[in-house]
């Protein structure tokens, strides 16, 4: 079946540091890939997405590239801010079979001033 | 344009009781999916409704049931509540034609005592 694996958190960074959150997937086929962000007490917000190999999703300074050869979709940001503190979820979606999002377990990011 | 709304925000029940959660999709969306997010975990797919029918279902027992109304709003019902049903229940809406891009509501926090 499909699965998504993320690096364990929490990830603690100082403001303006470089961020990488690793995400790998397994799927029978080529899923669409997503990063969602969840701020405290809120639901999930779509951060960025990529629908095919070598696509780069980007939003609010975050970016991730769909790497078919390494089955990865790592999230990066060049300079984090305190306001980026949240939980980040990597997710995959196959347009066949169950046709539902499969999420990783989430990575908590804490950015200190 | 209202996004996805859910009610109630919080709910406390005791074991064995039944609960109904409600979701109104984003304007123009016709497909509703429900997810369960246990504390510290990623969301798990429960089921999806389209055209008032359950179209897809995850690995959840029959105690979990749902309904979609002609206005596309949806309910999630859980019978015979267990302590392990305590979680954040998320509703997501999408367009059937592009339903891999899902918009999430803020969730209902269910606590079972």
Whole-number Å distance between alpha carbons of A38 and A90: 11
Which chain B residues touch A if contact means CB-CB below 8 Å?
4, 33, 35, 40-45, 48, 56, 58, 90, 92, 99-107
pLDDT in tens, A53-101: 999 999 999 999 999 999 999 999 999 999 999 999 999 998 777 678 9
* pLDDT value, residue B95: 86
Q: What is the CA radius of gyration of chain A?
A: 14
Whole-number Å distance between alpha carbons of A90 and A104: 5
Check CB contact under 8 Å for A43 and B101: no
Number of Cβ within a 10 Å radius of residue A45: 15
Residue B8 has pLDDT above 80, yes or no: yes
Residues 6 or more apart whose Cβ sits within 8 Å of residue B92: A44, A101, B4, B32, B33, B34, B35, B102, B103, B104, B105
* Chain B interface, best mutation among A30, A34, A37, A101, by max B CB count within 10 A: A101
- Chain A residues in contact with B102 (beta carbon < 8 A): 46, 101
What is the DSSP annotation of A7-67?
--S-EEEETT--EEE-EEEE-SS--EEEEEEE-TT--EEEEEEE-STT-EEEETTEEEE-B
Q: What is the residue-averaged pLDDT of chain B? A: 93
A21 token code pair: 């959150």
* pLDDT value, residue A105: 95
Pairing of β B108-112 and β B87-94 = antiparallel
Whole-number Å distance between alpha carbons of A50 and A34: 7
* pLDDT value, residue A2: 86
Whole-number Å distance between alpha carbons of A87 and B17: 31
Query: Which A-chain residues 72-91 have CB contacts (< 8 A) with chain B?
Result: 89, 91
- CA nearest B11: which of B108, B85, B81? B108
- Find where tokens 């639901």 sit: A43
Q: What is the residue-averaged pLDDT of chain A? A: 93
In this prediction, residue A3 has a pLDDT band, given cuts at 50, 70 and 90, of very high
Helix (H, G, I), strand (E, B) or coil at A87: strand
Check CB contact under 8 Å for B99 and A99: yes
> Among A36, A93, A103, whose Cβ lies nearest the Cβ of B100?
A93
* pLDDT value, residue A85: 96
In this prediction, residue A8 has a pLDDT band, given cuts at 50, 70 and 90, of confident
Q: What is the mean pLDDT of residues B73-97?
A: 94
């Amino acid at each position: 079946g499909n699965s998504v694996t993320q690096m364990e958190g929490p990830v603690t960074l100082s403001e303006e540091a470089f961020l990488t959150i690793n995400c790998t997937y397994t799927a029978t086929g080529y899923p669409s890939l997503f990063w969602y962000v969840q701020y405290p007490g809120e639901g999930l917000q779509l951060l960025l997405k990529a629908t095919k190999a070598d696509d780069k999703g980007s939003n609010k300074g975050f970016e991730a590239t769909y790497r078919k050869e390494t089955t990865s979709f790592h999230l990066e940001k060049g300079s984090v801010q305190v306001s980026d503190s949240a939980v980040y979820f990597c997710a995959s979606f196959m347009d066949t079979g169950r046709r539902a999002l499969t999420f990783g377990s989430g990575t908590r990011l804490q950015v200190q001033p | 344009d209202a996004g996805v709304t859910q009610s109630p925000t919080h709910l406390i029940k005791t074991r064995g009781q039944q609960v109904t959660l409600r979701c109104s999709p984003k304007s123009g969306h016709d497909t509703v999916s429900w997810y369960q997010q246990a504390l510290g975990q990623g969301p798990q797919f429960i089921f999806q409704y389209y055209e008032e029918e359950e179209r897809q279902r995850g690995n959840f027992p029959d105690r979990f049931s749902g309904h979609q109304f002609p206005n596309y709003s949806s309910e999630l019902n859980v019978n015979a509540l267990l302590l392990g049903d305590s979680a954040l229940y998320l509703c997501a809406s999408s367009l059937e034609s592009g339903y891999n891009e899902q918009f999430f509501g803020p969730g209902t926090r269910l606590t079972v005592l």
